[in-house]
Amino acid sequence: MAHATNAGSSGASPPPLWGRVRVGGRAIPNRLTTLAKTLRRNATSAERRLWQGLRREQVAGFRFRRQVILGGFIADFVCLEARLVIEVDGATHGMDDEIARDTARSAVLAAQGYDVLRFTNDDVFHNLDGVIETIHLRLIALRPRRDDSAI
């Protein structure tokens, strides 16, 4: 807790984990904002493949954004209208510590009103149609639209 003592003695609070921080009258992006931009530029193969199916409102007219900062985390994909988070998990997400971290992360997002769907890289590469259909069904369940009755 030394960082709390140092922050308290200087009178300055630590910067937020997202958004912009004012320095010398100028707004600059902080750590998570910069990281989110980097992740968008350097998406994994599975993320790029899934993005091709989600972008431009291709899934029932819902708009997705990529690498969005939510609750101190960067979510792979988010539909803000339906409050749906899509995570694409690589090989390391099968390890016990990553499973625990992902579970805690999902709980924080759920507490903020977000529904979380997780897919593996293998799901995206070998069953993209099934992944998109699962997302579509969840979107409809979360935010039905008038024109979805024909789907």
Query: Domains of the chain: which residue ranges?
Result: 43-150
How much is the pLDDT for 4? Answer: 29
- So what's the pLDDT on residue 150? 44
| Confidence at residue 36, expressed as pLDDT on a 0 to 100 scale | 81
pLDDT at 147: 53
pLDDT at 25 (0 to 100): 53
Report the relative pairing of strands 115-120 and 26-29 from DSSP bridges: unpaired
| Two tokens, residue 26 | 């100028």
Strands 73-79 and 65-70: antiparallel
**Cβ contact 144:108 at 8 Å:** no
Q: What global pTM score does this model have?
A: 0.71
Residue-by-residue pLDDT tens, the chain, 151 positions: 232 223 333 344 444 444 554 445 554 456 778 878 877 888 999 999 999 999 999 898 999 999 998 878 889 999 999 999 999 998 665 677 788 888 999 999 999 999 999 999 999 999 999 999 999 999 999 986 545 444 4
Answer whether CATH 3.40.960.10 is correct for domain 43-150: yes
DSSP annotation string for 83-148: TEEEEEE-GGGGSHHHHHHHHHHHHHHHHTT-EEEEEEHHHHHH-HHHHHHHHHHHHHHHS--GGG
